[in-house]
A and B are shown apart, each in its own frame.
Chain A
Amino acid sequence: MIEARDLTVTRDGRKVLDRVAFHAAAGEVTSILGPNGAGKSTLLAALAGLLPIEAGEVSIGGARLGELTAMQRARRVAYVPQRTELRSALQVETVVSHGRYAHQAGLGRPGPADLEAVEDALRKADVLELRGRRFDHLSTGEQRRVLLARALATQAEVILLDEPTAALDVRHALELHALLEALADDGLCLVAVLHGLDAARRHTRRATLIDRGVVVAAGPSDEVIAPDFVRAVYGVELVEDAALGFRLGGPA
């Protein structure tokens, strides 16, 4: 569904991504893993078409991202940042309706399809009861769900999420993972940058492990989150555990 070939991104003269290959399919949650500074968020932003690419290409459903206009791209791929800069006194429903921006021509007045998409997104992200509240008055967890609703309102086939569970407590993190899995079951292609190997193995079907801008492993999550790769990338021991699935030991 979303694919990248030989993706190279340079920032300040340094290669942040070096000929990266990436693939994520519809109906699955795919994780991007790696240590701090590995290039995960850069890869996600490049997949969203939000960064200048030095070489390589990204395609969505066969269409080259670079050949799409900003509006066309926004209708096909949605991006949920780790932190939003939105601090204005906008109502939740208004924020979610921004997901329809790329669908509205002319004066930008919402039509029946827009209203329905916003309603559907509010319901799916479980933020219907927050619709009349100010976005800047919500908790971090609530804001995350609203930003996800905004992404859903775009009705894009691919949703990219940058550390969606960061700063969430256990219950909210589990709820969010369950929501992402349910959306994948509906046929969406979801790609999430994650830090927790445990969450990635439990809640994502496929994983791409990168280190210093290079793909180390890609495939089914339980094959990528394996002792050899974890040791090579993170420098810690991953010990298989019958009850827990696995546990992480001290530095290798």
Chain B
Amino acid sequence: MRYLVLAAALAAVATLSLLVGPGDLGDAALRGTFLSLRAARVSGAMLAGGALGAAGALVQGLFRNPLASPSILGTTAGASFGGQVVLLAHASLASAGWLAWVAPEMVLPIGCLTGAFVSLAVLLAFVRRGADLLSLLLIGFALTSLFLALGSFLTTLAQERYELGRAVVAFTLGGLGGVDWTHVRLAIPLVAVAVVAGWLWGRPLDVLLAGEMEAASLGVDVPRTRRWTIAWVGVLTAAAVAIGGNIAFVGLVVPHALRPFFGAEHRRLIPAAVLGGATFLGACDLLARVLPTRVEAPLGVVTGLIGAPLFLLLLVRTRREGVA
């Protein structure tokens, strides 16, 4: 029943997103084009949101911490930086006559994946030395700052060429304005495989909630579980970033909001987080489109405006309850 409520919310947001936006659907000649463009954008938003929701549920389970999320831990920034590197590298190679036949969006996921994995690997190296919540958040902050600084440098380099500069800035800010069916078709297998695989790892992650030593005593292969969970979090984050750029807070807010209704068991939470994440990001994108601003508000700005106060609220509540 609870999944049905989420599915109904998702369907409502999808329908609204198809109906609302610039362009007159009453024009029979253009209706099909408008609907196709909007459908690609809605699908992209929902894929990215679902991926970030699932990634958030997985990463919160792995770190046994409700405040963990790909954006807080620097994974999103890592994926975003990886994407920027690939965009720049592709442009340079294309101008030299290499790889010109490959569209940038085809190679973007590779850069995002590499960036996400590098970021997660650094984080995990610290976690294995026994980092507490505060250290974890600080490491995430440091990683985010580092990748943003490096990304800013790349953005500056990209300004030498107008089109490339625009593409890198748009990708960095996060948005779904440029999403087409190519993006969606590329991301669908990545997200589908990673969600199913993450769901399959749900049971050892449940046992791991009791800590690594207890989980090992119950038969969980802890290093393997950690390795694979990180791999799927990396794939999900990279897929989301490849679609919509640097979108913060979805992976944090969605699983946290759904846990009271679906429980802490990952095999219940992950499907809910996929539906919830898709609905949340779809709604944020709709909001970004209808906000009365002169230019469309970047999606990352909308999710940040909603997510940041919620994160602070959760941080205060978590510390008060002694979980930290």
Contact = CB atoms under 8 A, between A and B. Distances in A.
Contacts of B204: 101
B32 interface: no
Interface stretch (A84-92, A117-125, A185-193, A218-226): A84-92
Size category of the A interface is 20 to 34
A107 B200 CA distance: 7
Interface of A is mostly: mixed
B210 A84 contact: yes
A94 B207 CA distance: 10
Contacts, number: 71
A45 B216 CA distance: 11
B200 A85 contact: no
The winner among B260, B263, B264, B265 for most chain A CB atoms within 10 A is B264
B206 A94 contact: yes
Interface in A57-93: 70-71, 73-75, 77-79, 81, 84-91
B203 interface: yes
Interface in A84-128: 84-91, 94-95, 98-99, 101-102, 104, 107-108
B305 interface: no
Given A84-B211, A88-B209, A90-B264, A48 B217 contact: yes
Nearest to B203: A108
Contacts of B209: 85-86, 88, 90
29 contacts: A48-B217, A50-B213, A50-B216, A70-B216, A70-B221, A74-B219, A75-B219, A79-B213, A79-B214, A79-B217, A85-B64, A85-B209, A85-B210, A85-B211, A85-B214, A86-B209, A86-B211, A86-B214, A88-B209, A89-B263, A91-B263, A98-B210, A98-B218, A99-B218, A101-B204, A101-B207, A101-B219, A102-B219, A154-B218
Interface of B: 64, 200, 203-204, 206-207, 209-211, 213-214, 216-221, 259-260, 263-265, 323
